[in-house]
């Protein structure tokens, strides 16, 4: 019985670790998309491309700013505020 409990514990731990590993690089949920869109609009962006959660923050590609320039933007995971904005030179 003890071996079964140990094996079950190992399997459960492995599943948790794999789940955490795949959390990065994921697209936003519908609710997150709505919050991100509102935050980007409030920050002056009119359109944007791919959005993904990576490295503990939201990464937004090809966001068009009020100045007409294209940016890559990072948003806070907690409140969706802009934490980084740099011109996209691609």
Strand order from edge to edge, sheet including 51-54? 51-54, 57-64, 70-76, 82-87
pLDDT at 24: 82
pLDDT at 89: 83
CATH fit for domain 27-87, picks 3.10.450, 3.40.720, 3.90.120, 3.30.360:
3.10.450
Q: Decide the pairing of beta strands 82-87 and 70-76.
A: antiparallel
Mean pLDDT by 10 residues, the chain (90 residues): 54 42 81 98 97 98 97 97 92
pLDDT, position 68: 96
d(CA 68, CA 5): 60
Q: Taking the model in full, what pTM does it have?
A: 0.72
Q: What are phi and psi of 30, to 5 degrees?
A: -60, -40
């Amino acid at each position: 019985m003890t071996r079964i409990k140990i094996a079950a514990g190992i399997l459960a731990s492995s599943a948790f670790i794999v789940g955490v590993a795949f959390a990065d690089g994921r697209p936003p949920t519908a609710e997150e998309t709505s919050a991100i869109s509102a935050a980007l609009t409030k920050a002056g962006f009119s359109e944007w491309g791919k959005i993904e959660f990576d490295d503990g923050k939201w990464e937004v590609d090809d966001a068009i700013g009020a100045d007409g320039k294209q940016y890559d933007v990072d948003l806070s995971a907690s409140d969706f505020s802009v934490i980084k904005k740099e011109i996209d030179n691609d």
